[in-house]
Structure 1
Amino acid sequence: MVDLFAWLISFFLLIAVLCLVLYQLTCFLDLEQDDINPYELATNINNTTLPEFITQGALCFLHLVTRHWIMLLFCLPYLYYNVNRYIHRRHLLYATEAFNKLPKEKYLRLYKLVYLAFLFVLSIFWMIWCIVDEE
């Protein structure tokens, strides 16, 4: 039962990270359509980047503590990428560079979204496996 509870927490953490990345992608698409200005974009992205990193770190820590090694191995590259961006201060978006970095940052969020969707499917698979295995 504890294992199932851990998978449920993992499921909701993945949903939270997916929502944050989807929100960031939506902000970039809004800038592309001229619905928001670069200053608002930079503020929105910078306010959601750190919670995304923290939630992803909590997800990796959960998999480490519960000894779900396969999911931990799949989550570690994304965590490494986030930590590397944070250490080198590349996680911040500046309003003056918003239009220059728009295509790169948009595709970066799209790649993150696909990677997180893959992790989401794996998480659902392991959660169902845990439910079937307990019965």
Structure 2
Amino acid sequence: MDNIFVWLVSFFFVIALLILIVYQLMCLADLEFDYINPYDSSSRINQVILPEFITQGVLSVFFLITGHWIMTLFCAPYLYYNVRLYTQRQHLVDVTEIFNLLHWEKKQRLFKLAYLIVLLVLNIFWMIWCALEDHGD
């Protein structure tokens, strides 16, 4: 039963990450269609970038602590990318360059979204697997 709890907690972590990424994509789409100015869009995105990085880091450490090595390895590239962006100080959206980099920023977040959806599917699969395994005993 404790394994199902682990998968349920990780499920909510992945859902939180998906919400943060979709929010960033919505801010970029609003900027693209001139519903919001560049300053507001940049500040809204920058407010949720560190919570995204922290949540992803906690998820990776959570998988590592609970002994789910495969899922830790699946989280590692995303964690490495976020750490690299943070250490190179490229993690925040610049208000003066947001229009020039709009296509790249959207592409980057769409890739993150696809990656998180794969992680979510794997998470749901393992949660169902553990539930059926516990039910069979």
**Class of the TM-score when normalised by the shorter of the 2 chains:** over 0.9
Equivalent position of 1:68 in the other structure: 68
TM-score w.r.t. structure 1 length? 0.98
- Note the 1:96-111 alignment, pairs <5 A: 96-111=96-111
- Note the 1:1-135 alignment, pairs <5 A: 1-135=1-135
Corresponding residue SS for 2:97: helix
Structure 1 residues without counterparts, runs of 5 or longer: none
Task: Please tell me the residue identity of whatever aligns with 2:78.
Answer: Y
Paired with 1:42 and 1:58, the residues of 2 have a C-alpha distance of: 25
Paired with 1:96 and 1:88, the residues of 2 have a C-alpha distance of: 19
Q: 1:63 Cα deviation (Å)?
A: 0.4
Deviations, residues 19-57 of structure 1 (Å, cap 9, x unaligned): 000000111000000000000011011100000000000
Paired with 1:21 and 1:76, the residues of 2 have a C-alpha distance of: 18
Paired with 2:41 and 2:54, the residues of 1 have a C-alpha distance of: 21
Q: 1:58 Cα deviation (Å)?
A: 0.7
Q: 1:100 Cα deviation (Å)?
A: 0.6
Corresponding residue SS for 1:97: coil
The alignment of Structure 1 onto Structure 2 pairs a total of residues equal to: 135
More helix by share: 1
Paired with 2:57 and 2:30, the residues of 1 have a C-alpha distance of: 28
Task: Please tell me the residue identity of whatever aligns with 1:14.
Answer: V
Paired with 1:86 and 1:133, the residues of 2 have a C-alpha distance of: 40
Paired with 1:55 and 1:13, the residues of 2 have a C-alpha distance of: 7
Paired with 1:104 and 1:36, the residues of 2 have a C-alpha distance of: 19
Q: 1:2 Cα deviation (Å)?
A: 1.2
**Among the aligned pairs, what percent are the same residue?**
57
TM-score w.r.t. structure 2 length? 0.97
Paired with 1:129 and 1:57, the residues of 2 have a C-alpha distance of: 25
Paired with 1:50 and 1:14, the residues of 2 have a C-alpha distance of: 15
Task: Please tell me the residue identity of whatever aligns with 2:64.
Answer: L
Paired with 1:51 and 1:2, the residues of 2 have a C-alpha distance of: 27
Q: 1:134 Cα deviation (Å)?
A: 1.1
